[in-house]
Structure 1
């Protein structure tokens, strides 16, 4: 049995019911976790009260006059073995976005000395065998992803997964399994959805980039992992359930070209800014092409306010000006 010390890192914000499902799945893993690191991005929906009722955090915890609070409780795993799991709660006084939450969780787990950190959002749920299956492949890669399936239709993927040769995408579970080699798809992942990363990898590439706030921080982290040469793979027998990706896609009048656009200013700003930053760092030749897609879409529609947002976001990403997402918060 793999004797590595493993901690799950879960980031949550205002989704207490889904968080409860996620935590139940972690406590029910056949290969018991050594710890769970739960980062709460200042939820306002009663998340903390729910965790208090579960006995995961103390009733005395308060965030008044503090940037964050950290507490630890021993929680019983949901198994006949009665294993005990250390659950660390990190409560932040402001919403730092998914990027800030994963930064806090990965930093804490790395400094605590865990060999592997298992990263996920609050709306995902791991199959009971998932962790054990991932640990079977730790000699193959230092960035191991679960196979992320649609929670409502597990025969389909929640997010697209590229063919290793880059020609096409997988859309369902059978395609992935049929095309796997020795149980894995090399070079491909849906990051921060049941993603196991090693201490060795973190030593080399650092923590997730907290300044990105939302959208793209996981993509940036995957590209950094790819550049490290320490290996990326999806383990097809390690299942992680997640709601189907809901990103709105707008098609351009050119075959195969599209933009992702939600119509929610803060999300679109962060998406465009972070994409510009990612392309600058990892694919510099594509920066102009990316902005041109927004130009092609919005100019014929005379939607200059959206185009202005795209321009400002692109320039902020290229010049690494962070924190301006606050201008788009309601």
Structure 2
């Protein structure tokens, strides 16, 4: 014990965390980063989320002075990889780069998750917004959102929409569109976007929401028609496609977007969370990084912990309402 403080004073400092003992929060904050940083992506390698994670890992490593590696842990709708991060030591050396579904929506789709995303995960950075594109087969006689809604309403029980999986944003958005017109559209879930898009091109389903990365080549080639995009801003990769909001579809489901984000174990010290968020922002401010994220169909924002938390609170009731309204479940 230091000669400069009394026994009572030092015990008080220990209790408050002012003096770290190696396991305490301040010690973890002061020694970060102390080893290789692992970014867990709860999907197989090769997708857009994986590409964002690897891009950030490459740019963050030199500034942090430690290796940053990406580990793909797919399975169970992203639950396995997310749970790995939730249960990791809260020292900033295990992170997740994931999607809205895994960090927010899954808590409403599963009756029981092995983790509580609002308690067991710390929001680090909302890296990028991820609008989705409403697509139709060229044989559908609609070119705008309102025209499509009228077509759906006039063909009750005759149409189907695809999604890249039960409980996905594409499923929830399509189901809401059907319900809003009392249309009784059939939902066809696929294991991923690629087979969904191929069946949409073939006319097996008439409409679907998809990522810009999947949609753009087929829209450009005229094999699919883009009706509109979700969110409040047009996308740089599809500048001529208006938002659904612009077209008068004002419900929250058309206004909201998914996102790509970084999270850490829930008890990670705030100073460590902020340091990581700062490094994400520094990486996203590099023009080539921003251009690459844009090319993937995202909009780089790199919002820090407080701004991300505010966006999370705003989005949460919308997704909860959608899940309940559609009856979607993954149990």
User: TM (normalized to structure 2)?
Assistant: 0.25
Q: Choose between structure 1 and 2 for higher RCO, CA contacts under 8 A separated by at least 6 residues.
A: 2
TM score, norm. by length of structure 1: 0.25
Q: Counting strand residues as a fraction of each chain, which structure ranks higher?
A: 1
Max radius of gyration: which structure? 2
Q: As a proportion of its length, which structure holds more helix?
A: 2
